[in-house]
């Protein structure tokens, strides 16, 4: 999924970047420029490191080893080798390569911290990282290796190794080729790391933060789409829109997300003949929870995303390194690399994905069951018994929901001590981020299946009523977009491509855009 690019160029300054900047670089290849002010600040702070490097007093990571080996003083003539050894030894990831957008976010966020003037690197280090990004070179970062404490050590080390002219990387075409060849083609000279620079390149929460920011962007769009598909399910099931009126929400239960979702659903259902038909001659007093409580669930999800964005914005403003150079020139050790703040909200969002997917699946199942669908044929089949209709689509949806429930088990409650018990409590934030990406994908697919089901139900209502039971303008606009590439009711056919196409339309934002043609901008 994607968000709109704000500009073709993003500037790194000492004051940081925005979530939109991260998305632009990670997903859309926006070029990165470092401001002259930031480079001057980096140069100025480097002078403090040079002074400490030539001092008789040991300074962690500058003239000593790292982690559990921090007590060893390293002679001047061995410090370049120390930096190389750090990066090489920490590039110990295993498993499949993570996605290109994740690596680009990781590198951009690290460059942001390097440009802050608090890490003590030379300007050439941050410039080389930006040059690699701008050249479209993507280091190969492996799935396993980070514990989310001392930062995303292994993932960032794999990136730093490429800056040294070593390791694995893919070119702009996605093909993995020798790193020296890729750098030479781009006119990039590999860097020779000096004191402190190895640590500065790897001590950050950048991988988990990048994945958090992209998940938030995706969920903002998906939760609005969930309001749309829920409203279409209300139409498909002859439900009422009266539970979504504003006086039942902010005035009685002031959760802003709930009010926003209810407003969206009411807008999508506006002027719907199907909904209007429910108001006369219907003995039902209340709809099922999966319809009536849709704003409460999706709204709680929205509020959780807002909390996650608050945490992400704070982390985006942070300078994560150890040791860090303070404004007065002191170089001080700290624990800011611990990923707990980010890890917690990554886990919260996995819970959100599972529950929003769960309630969507319940609405889908209700439309397929003739005992609960208020007159629709079994499984919305063309000829029930001969045809199976959407029976197995719901199986697929149930499998996705079950997987999401497993992924909702928090990673951040786990900790396995490392580095000879020096790092005796870790966040597992990288793992929380990796499973959240799967959760977001599952939610998108679940909503795609609800979309296919609800629109088929609406089409059947219209057909069965000789054209009297029509969807509202928003539902009609969604149907028009979907039906351009996905067929409506009929005999059984190869269903998987249609579900994949619906998934593409949901992920691209086309379904939301279609509804908004009728409703105006939705929350």
67-114 pLDDT, tens digit per residue, is 656 667 777 777 788 888 999 999 999 999 999 999 999 999 999 999
**144 and 93 Cβ atoms separated by less than 8 Å:** yes
* Residue 333 scores a pLDDT above 90: no
| pLDDT at residue 364, as a whole number | 98
The structure tokens listed for 167 are 């390791």
| pLDDT at residue 2, as a whole number | 46
| pLDDT at residue 420, as a whole number | 83
* Residue 448 scores a pLDDT above 90: yes
Q: How far apart are CA 199 and CA 385, in angstroms?
A: 66
* Residue 16 scores a pLDDT above 60: yes
> Considering the entire predicted model, what is its pTM?
0.94
Q: Give the mean model confidence (pLDDT) for residues 388-399.
A: 98
Name the active-site residue from 60, 289, 344, 395.
Answer: 60
Q: Give the mean model confidence (pLDDT) for residues 197-202.
A: 92
| pLDDT at residue 1, as a whole number | 59
| Residue 423 φ/ψ, nearest 5 degrees | -100, 75
Q: How far apart are CA 415 and CA 7, in angstroms?
A: 40
| Residue 17 φ/ψ, nearest 5 degrees | -135, 175
| pLDDT at residue 92, as a whole number | 96
| pLDDT at residue 64, as a whole number | 66
Instruction: Provide the percentage of residues in the chain whose pLDDT is more than 90.
Output: 80
Beta bridge partners of 419: none
Q: How far apart are CA 92 and CA 110, in angstroms?
A: 19
Q: Give the mean model confidence (pLDDT) for residues 381-394.
A: 97
Ramachandran bin of 97, using left for φ above 0, alpha for ψ from -120 to 50, beta for the remaining angles: beta
| pLDDT at residue 281, as a whole number | 65
29, 249, 318, 370 from 22: Cα distances, Å: 10, 35, 14, 48
| pLDDT at residue 489, as a whole number | 97
Question: Closest Cα partner for 291 from 270, 275, 271, 279?
Answer: 275
Q: Give the mean model confidence (pLDDT) for residues 424-434.
A: 94
Q: Give the mean model confidence (pLDDT) for residues 334-346.
A: 93
Matching residue, tokens 């799967």:
438
* Residue 4 scores a pLDDT above 50: no
Confidence grade of residue 154 (pLDDT, cut at 50, 70, 90): very high
Q: Give the mean model confidence (pLDDT) for residues 263-292.
A: 89
The structure tokens listed for 442 are 């599952």
Is 344 among the catalytic positions? no
Question: Closest Cα partner for 235 from 519, 456, 394?
Answer: 456
Q: Are strands 31-34 and 9-12 parallel, antiparallel or unpaired?
A: parallel
Angle at the Cα of 110 from the Cα atoms of 108 and 112, rounded to 5 degrees = 70
Q: Give the mean model confidence (pLDDT) for residues 131-135.
A: 98
| pLDDT at residue 5, as a whole number | 40
| Residue 284 φ/ψ, nearest 5 degrees | -70, 135
* Residue 188 scores a pLDDT above 70: yes
Label each residue of 252-320 as H, E or C: CCCCHHHHHHHHHHHHHHCCCHHHHHCCCCCCCCCCCHHHHCHHHHHHHHHHHHHHHHHHHHHHHCCCC
> Which range is most confident: 1-15, 147-161, 443-457?
443-457
CA 260 from centre of chain: 22
* Residue 3 scores a pLDDT above 60: no
Helices (H) and strands (E) in the chain, counts: 19, 9
């Amino acid at each position: 999924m994607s968000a709109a690019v704000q500009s073709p160029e993003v500037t790194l300054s000492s004051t940081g970047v925005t979530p939109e900047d991260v998305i632009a670089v990670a997903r859309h290849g926006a070029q990165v420029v470092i401001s002259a002010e930031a480079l001057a600040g980096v140069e100025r702070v480097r002078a403090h490191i040079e002074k400490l490097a030539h001092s008789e007093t040991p300074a962690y990571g500058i003239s000593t080893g790292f982690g559990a080996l921090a007590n060893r003083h390293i002679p001047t003539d061995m410090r370049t080798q120390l930096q190389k050894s750090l990066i090489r030894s920490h590039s110990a990831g295993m498993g499949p390569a993570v996605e290109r957008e994740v690596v680009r976010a990781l590198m951009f966020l690290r460059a942001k911290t390097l440009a802050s003037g608090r890490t003590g690197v030379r300007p050439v280090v941050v410039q080389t990282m930006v040059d690699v990004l701008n050249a479209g070179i993507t280091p190969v970062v492996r799935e396993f290796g980070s514990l989310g404490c001392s930062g995303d050590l292994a993932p960032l080390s794999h990136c730093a190794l490429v800056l040294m002219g070593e390791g694995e990387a893919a070119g702009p075409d996605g093909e993995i080729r020798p790193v020296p060849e890729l750098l030479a083609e781009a006119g990039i000279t590999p860097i020779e790391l000096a004191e402190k620079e190895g640590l500065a390149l790897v001590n950050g929460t950048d991988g988990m933060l990048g994945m958090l920011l992209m998940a938030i962007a995706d969920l903002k769009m998906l939760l609005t789409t969930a309001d749309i598909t829920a409203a279409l399910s209300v139409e498909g099931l002859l439900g009422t829109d009266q539970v979504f009126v504003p006086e039942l929400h902010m005035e009685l239960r002031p959760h802003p997300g709930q009010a926003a979702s209810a407003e969206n659903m009411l807008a999508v259902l506006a002027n719907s003949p199907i909904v209007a038909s429910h108001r006369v001659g219907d003995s039902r007093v209340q709809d099922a929870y999966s319809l009536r409580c849709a704003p409460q669930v999706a709204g709680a999800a929205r509020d959780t995303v807002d909390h996650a964005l608050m945490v992400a914005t704070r982390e985006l403003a942070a300078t994560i390194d150890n040791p860090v150079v303070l404004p007065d020139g002191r170089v001080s050790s700290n624990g800011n690399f611990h990923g707990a703040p980010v890890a917690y909200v990554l886990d919260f969002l996995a819970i959100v994905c599972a529950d929003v997917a769960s309630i969507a699946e319940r609405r889908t199942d209700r439309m397929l069951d003739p005992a609960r669908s208020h007159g629709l044929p079994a499984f919305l089949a063309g000829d029930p018994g001969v045809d199976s209709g959407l029976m197995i689509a719901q199986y697929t949806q149930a499998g996705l929901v079950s997987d999401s429930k497993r992924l909702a088990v928090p990673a951040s409650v786990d900790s396995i001590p490392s580095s000879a018990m020096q790092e005796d409590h870790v966040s597992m934030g990288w793992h929380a981020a990796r499973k959240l990406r799967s959760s977001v994908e599952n939610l998108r697919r679940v909503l795609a299946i609800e979309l296919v089901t609800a629109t088929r139900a609406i089409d059947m209502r219209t057909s069965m009523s000789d054209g009297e039971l029509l969807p509202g303008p928003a539902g009609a606009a969604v149907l028009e977009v979907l039906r351009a590439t996905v067929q409506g009711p009929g005999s059984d056919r190869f269903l998987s491509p249609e579900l994949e196409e619906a998934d593409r339309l949901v992920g691209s934002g086309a379904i939301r855009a279609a509804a908004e043609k009728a409703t105006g901008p939705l929350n």
